[in-house]
Amino acid sequence: MTPTGTTDAPASPSTGAARTVTDIFQPRNVLLVGMLGIGLAAAGHWTGLLWGFLGALCAGIVPAGYIEWERGRGTWGDRHVVDRTKRAPIFFVILGSIGAGSVVMVLGHAPTGILVAMLALWAMTVILLAVNTVWKISVDAAVASAVVALLAPVHSPWWLLAYAMTVAVCWSRVALGYHSVAQTVAGASLGATTAGAFLFV
């Protein structure tokens, strides 16, 4: 995905920094670290990492793989999928993948905490899909915010400092022209709200 109005001019230092931030903290990577941490806390021992990896696989890695597959077919330019109207299949893949992973967790008697995180991400994706039909809300911002909100209660309130990462993601999406400030703020707010709601389940 390239921003509207891209030219052949060399990228500015700020654009390069924004590209680095958005690539490092893309949903797949944030979910991998976050779900491993949530799984470890939920189980209280190393076996939680296995459940966490399953969560990361279903919520982040499988959807990212689907996007790469579609890119290879020429459906999209890159993972950002600038055209909002073409994003629906991605959301359906995410919903199906998280749903399947949640079923495996239930059947495998996974720790409650990791299952709650999966359900929170599933619910967040439903809302993202609904909003995306009329407005291009930021998925990257939503995921970055939700993961921090899920990690802080199960590990330490100090994890809330990781919202600096969420702010950086929001900045990068705006700097690259993929979203407006309002779209990133809405995404981050949705992620925090959905995660927070499910923590009371």
In a domain, 5, yes or no: no
> How many other β-carbons are positioned within 10 Å of the β-carbon of residue 5?
6
pLDDT band at 74 (very low <50, low <70, confident <90, very high): confident
pTM, two decimals, is 0.90
In a domain, 98, yes or no: yes
In a domain, 50, yes or no: yes
In a domain, 56, yes or no: yes
Number of domains in the chain: 1
- Return the higher-pLDDT residue of 4 and 140: 140
pLDDT band at 131 (very low <50, low <70, confident <90, very high): very high
In a domain, 1, yes or no: no
**44 Ramachandran zone, left/alpha/beta (phi>0; psi -120 to 50):** left
Q: Which domain holds residue 53?
A: 14-198
